Structure 1
Amino acid sequence: MRYCRLLGTALLVMALVAPGLAVADEEAVDALRERWETITTEVPESEQEQAYAELVDQATRWVDDNPEEADARLWRGISLASQARAKGGTGALGLAKEAREDLEKAVELDPDGGNGSAYVTLGALYHRVPGWPLGFGDSDTAEALFQSAREIRPDGVDVNYYYAVFLEDEGRDDDAREYARRAVEGDVRESRQASDEALRDKAWELAERLSNR
């Protein structure tokens, strides 16, 4: 009887605490996403690397406290990938490798990959990073990752834009034009409106350039 009372108390505590933890996680996601949006769309390019580095530090504190939390891994991976892009050159390879590890862990924890975001970012990494022996870049892997993202969110502006950029670099201009057009006509996410609208503008420019070739 005493065991049952103790078990009942423990379950009650868990029921009371768990919603608080969920709210805390949601707040952490919102804070990281909003800061990433601001850096991506408003911070001058010359200042972005440092801003992303600070965001990585913020995300790392969350990962350290929640190493098995998919969103924590996802947003540190996205932040690291963004920092790598802002840094550029071979000095960014270490950041890109760390980003890949976090994003792959995020997919392992959540096969949906944050509604496809992990797959898009991984695809862009495998597209941009040099291949062996310097880096891990690989066109076949990049395409497979973009296709996985498209299966999850086929009308995503980001999904179709980054796939179009990849296809252009692969010399597949007709396909690139088609996916750039899909990006222009794609769905903007309410939580990522500013960055998706910025990508829509880039997709329009890409489609125009490809059409004029």
Structure 2
Amino acid sequence: MHLKSLLVAVAALSVAAPALAADSLDARLDGLAKAWAHANFEIRDKAAQSEEAARVAAQAEGLAKQYPGRAEPLVWEAIALSTEAGAKGGLGGLALAKSAKGLLEQAERINPAALGDGSVYTSLGSLYAQVPGFPIGFGDPAKARAYLQKAVSANPNGVDSNYFWGDFLFRQGDYAGSVKALERAAAAPARPGREVADRGRHADVLNLLAQARRKAHG
């Protein structure tokens, strides 16, 4: 091969390598999303759900080590740990929730817009909303409100951002506000490749929406 041809080939490889790496990361993030959706929405047994969520979190942790400086694997690790925490409950669940919060804070410092759907804000807001407050845990309604409002601002038509905002408002006794948020969640557009997550989340939305409507009109 002539030197000029070799240089052209090397240049082409140097351009292609980052693109291939990006494709590999995107594919693996998609795999994490699907594995988490299966754990969170399709596994009903709490012990089995905890085990599967832990497996997803471990995969995300490995991906985060391969791609230091990228926020997306940290977000998925935190989301999986949150599912594991919910399945375990108790002090073990609280420790996992604290770990998830730390990962999300790290992701927020790197890229708060990671995953492009407000996931960092949604996940932090839901943790602050659902974890018990001091002295047991770190729950904080004011921080929950601030993060969930940021999530809705980042993704005004999203199913998750509006569901968790509606869930927070329901917990705060704002049933009319909860209905509005949950109606937006119910009308959220489908996400290609996220069919399991969409189906499971919409079931959550409709269940809570029915409760909020009863409360709002009761």
Contact 1:188 1:197 in 2 (8 A): no
C-alpha displacement of 1:73:
1.0
User: In structure 2, how many angstroms separate the alpha carbons of the residues matched to 1:24 and 1:133?
Assistant: 43
After TM superposition, list the pairs within 5 Å mapping 1:1-213 onto structure 2.
14-46=14-46, 47-114=48-115, 115-212=117-214, 213=218
User: In structure 2, how many angstroms separate the alpha carbons of the residues matched to 1:191 and 1:147?
Assistant: 26
C-alpha displacement of 1:34:
1.3
C-alpha displacement of 1:197:
2.5
User: In structure 1, how many angstroms separate the alpha carbons of the residues matched to 2:11 and 2:128?
Assistant: 45
Amino acid at match of 2:202: R
Q: Which deviations, in whole Å up to 9, do the C-alpha atoms of 1:3-41 show, x marking residues without a partner?
A: xxxx99986653232122112211211111111122222
Contact 1:155 1:183 in 2 (8 A): yes
Amino acid at match of 1:51: E
Amino acid at match of 1:177: V
Q: Which deviations, in whole Å up to 9, do the C-alpha atoms of 1:103-147 show, x marking residues without a partner?
A: 122222222132211211111100111112322110011111111
Amino acid at match of 1:159: S
Amino acid at match of 1:125: L
C-alpha displacement of 1:45:
3.0
User: In structure 2, how many angstroms separate the alpha carbons of the residues matched to 1:143 and 1:55?
Assistant: 28
Q: Which deviations, in whole Å up to 9, do the C-alpha atoms of 1:177-206 show, x marking residues without a partner?
A: 221222112223223232222222222222
User: In structure 1, how many angstroms separate the alpha carbons of the residues matched to 2:69 and 2:194?
Assistant: 24
User: In structure 2, how many angstroms separate the alpha carbons of the residues matched to 1:13 and 1:132?
Assistant: 54
SS of the equivalent of 1:190 reads coil
Contact 2:169 2:177 in 1 (8 A): yes
Amino acid at match of 2:38: T
Amino acid at match of 2:26: E
User: In structure 1, how many angstroms separate the alpha carbons of the residues matched to 2:98 and 2:9?
Assistant: 45
User: In structure 2, how many angstroms separate the alpha carbons of the residues matched to 1:25 and 1:181?
Assistant: 34
Q: Identity of paired residues, percent? A: 31
User: In structure 1, how many angstroms separate the alpha carbons of the residues matched to 2:16 and 2:173?
Assistant: 56
User: In structure 1, how many angstroms separate the alpha carbons of the residues matched to 2:82 and 2:34?
Assistant: 16
Amino acid at match of 1:58: Q
Contact 2:39 2:53 in 1 (8 A): yes
TM-score by length of 2: 0.87
Contact 1:126 1:141 in 2 (8 A): yes
Which runs of 4 or more aligned residues in structure 1 lie more than 3 Å from their structure 2 counterparts after TM superposition? 7-14
TM-score by length of 1: 0.88
SS of the equivalent of 2:193 reads helix
